[in-house]
Structure 1
């Protein structure tokens, strides 16, 4: 139940003001009348008095001084001044100094007073409501800024962690194999990821993963892939024997598929995973929905590797095939996540792939050159995460 609005009435002994307090009380206002302005000011309480009505001519201090004191103590409290035609100069000054309204004696029609009071009360109510809303918005904005600050700190920590999980680039392995990459996230964290390593003295294994979506959740899946791959390779001693390479690749991609499919993350990934036999110069690889396919550069000519396979984590059983490719004497292998396709013109996927292959060929496998040709060598926001992985045989 709403309380009755309070009115502080400071009036002279003029006949025109007589009965004003009684009239307003009859209209539902709690009226507190005073003939002394000094006494009225000591009684004023902004939380109780929603309106102050004061005569301009008072026996102790002027109505203008009352106005100034009220506005100094409570700027939101409306003040209505009462004056005669001879007081028009003071009325103008009162309006300039913050009075909300004025009425002129004689107050013969109290209903006009009632309408003016009602309007000021409604304005005061709206002002109070706006202040409460503004304070609530300011409180929520402060909370939002605090949450955003925490989120930014979390993202920065996640970015640092993800960067520490990435391999060194470039890195040269025995047998003349050099691996390098470029990773360009759209946000703090990337849903793209690359990794590579030497197993034994002969096999260089690697993968490029592109997790669906963006941001933290996708980046966490890249961490899951990294952890699962590292753990499995060590536990099962994968890529230790030439005779088991194909089985190891198939086992690894099927294991990752189960990990993602059974995880309650609603995430899947395109994956290109391979092993280079540095002695035999052969490439073994599996394709998990990789698009575009990696390109092999031989004597300045680029061509797509053959092969296809379902994305990882999308189906319970993907039935992936292991492909095998004899590598030329001096080769470059370039794999890109599908974010690069967003940068290319063309109405069809085939047109974009043809354009990308031309750029890979023009770059001669150089990541820096390819990024320059794709116009991603500048710190500008990209439409999607972009990863470029390069392996090559370095001339001895």
Structure 2
């Protein structure tokens, strides 16, 4: 192994929410380098997220990670943050008469507690001012909350540095070689050696694996468009997150009376600096105008982000069974931010061999292991 390169116990590829949260968890136990191809961490999915904490989001198999993350987000250790990363919002999942089956299926999937409450037209009107005719059924999810993504990401990066972690930006991978002694990695910012490579590269997870000589898992980036709207009337500050039971849109207040709106699209894409699609934004606005009688006065901003899913739409956390020293931390889809605390704890246990944190008690950790793909 070359002696003129710095050596690390672990190298994390990607400094978005995934890499930052895991780095913060393991930096006290290991010498860790985190590399980011952009000039700032969180430029892609993390920086473009319309994030919220929703216990139903991602379905019943993601829910355990969401639940296990709640305490760390709502009431963090004061040494990590003096303030909560969550603020109350609530969510209304709405539908028309033809969506009753979707409503019932959703409620049945979470029937073990009172998470979801059926709503009739009268109840919908109390939550959504200006609701147009036709929206006659829905589900109320009171526990849904907004997440302060930027503050959470910054807190993880700060803790990573405080615990001795090293961050390189503008450090795109150029080559990776593996031997029985570990990994030799060349980046645009320099070279290093490491015992373990951690693939937290988001939309680039499969290309990174290929560069490392590891078989990809079929992690697919899916593009989602978002627009910020100015409306008349302005959006009430206490408006809940509004989602379509048929998954054709959702929107939420963005502060200052503005709305963040998406057509809930999922277009397969290559890893890239994603840009918005004008037709998708126009489609979203048309759907929004069918929900409420508000006038859209302006599209103030529009953007797109990539959400990456494994074939079964569950995250992938664990060592690759065919390539020693290669660890997957990818496929978090759209729920990577709300599950970040639990995911980082899970991966720390797998990386260090330590007993899983108490917050993970009762969770089938093997459900998220890459070995499930054979």
Normalising by structure 2, we get a TM-score of 0.19
Q: Which one has a bigger Cα radius of gyration?
A: 1
Higher RCO structure (Cα 8 Å, ≥6 apart): 2
Structure with greater strand share of residues: 2
